[in-house]
């Protein structure tokens, strides 16, 4: 009887651990390319483990890359896969060269992804895309993606906070200091949270892409609100 009781406890504990293991996601870095490609370089994290969670995460990452490589209206991107979007980008460049054979302008695209925070509750990933289609300068854009670690679903910024207004009030002094340190001329009385917000090891990072709130020459504006200031307003715990 003593043996049977302990066996039942052990089996129950094993099942519990196995179920928890299924929820865990591991990331590996992969390089994505196609044949006949010489101008697009993509290095991104790929989620592995629980198939449902991994599929949600990987699909969103892929959609972000497809959008970045589309040189038309990003919301109207028609490619069904990253590989297809790479081929489309190369084909459009070849068409450009054929139409303007004497031009010295070159196209290139570099897209890199990084897991910047991971816990049992939330995963934050940064996608940095630099795309140059021969203009005066290329386009640099950083996207933060936040995922529910238990489901793989994207977490909207509004769902990161219990009280967005209170967090905004807490974040503003850090924004003001960043603007002052960079010697940027902005109306700091008007302050809106950026579209890119994510967890990091040091705190909540807020990032404004080029041209989002300031001229191109200003570049990216980025700052961190430490967890000891942000924690009262966060839905997901920081570890």
pLDDT tens readout for residues 95-129? 998 998 888 888 999 999 999 999 999 999 999 99
φ and ψ of 201, to 5 deg: -65, -25
List the helix and strand counts (H, then E) for the chain: 5, 8
Q: Are residues 53 and 88 in the same domain?
A: yes
Among 127, 155, 183, the domain boundary falls at 155
Among 155, 182, 203, the domain boundary falls at 155
Q: Under DSSP, is residue 204 helix (H, G, I), strand (E, B) or coil? A: strand
Q: Under DSSP, is residue 63 helix (H, G, I), strand (E, B) or coil? A: helix
Q: Are residues 164 and 113 in the same domain?
A: no
DSSP 171-200: HHHHHHHHHHHTT----TTS----SEEEE-
Give the span between the Cα atoms of 39 and 130, in whole angstroms. Answer: 12
pLDDT in tens, 21-64: 444 799 999 999 999 898 999 999 999 999 999 999 999 999 99
Output the domain CATH number for residue 197: 3.90.640.20
């Amino acid at each position: 009887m003593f043996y049977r009781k302990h066996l039942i406890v052990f089996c129950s504990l094993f099942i519990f651990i196995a179920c928890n293991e299924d929820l865990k996601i591991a990331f590996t870095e992969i390089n994505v390319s196609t044949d006949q490609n010489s101008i697009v370089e993509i290095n991104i994290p790929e989620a592995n483990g629980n198939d449902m969670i991994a599929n949600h995460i990987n699909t969103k990452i892929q959609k972000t890359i497809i959008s970045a490589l589309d040189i038309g209206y990003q919301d109207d991107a028609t490619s069904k896969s990253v590989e297809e979007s790479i081929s489309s980008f190369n084909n459009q460049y070849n068409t450009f060269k054929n139409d303007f054979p004497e031009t010295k302008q070159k196209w290139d695209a570099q897209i890199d992804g990084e897991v910047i925070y991971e816990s049992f509750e939330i995963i934050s990933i940064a996608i940095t895309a630099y795309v140059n289609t021969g203009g005066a300068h290329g386009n640099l854009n950083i996207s933060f993606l936040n995922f529910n670690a238990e489901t793989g679903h994207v977490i909207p910024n509004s769902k990161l906070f219990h009280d967005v207004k209170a967090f905004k009030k807490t974040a503003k002094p850090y924004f003001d200091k960043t603007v002052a340190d960079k010697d940027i001329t902005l109306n700091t009385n008007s302050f809106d949270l950026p579209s890119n917000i994510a967890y990091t090891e040091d705190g909540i990072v807020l990032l404004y892409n080029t041209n989002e709130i300031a001229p191109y020459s200003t570049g990216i504006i980025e700052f961190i609100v430490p967890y000891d200031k942000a924690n009262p307003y966060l839905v997901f715990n920081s570890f």
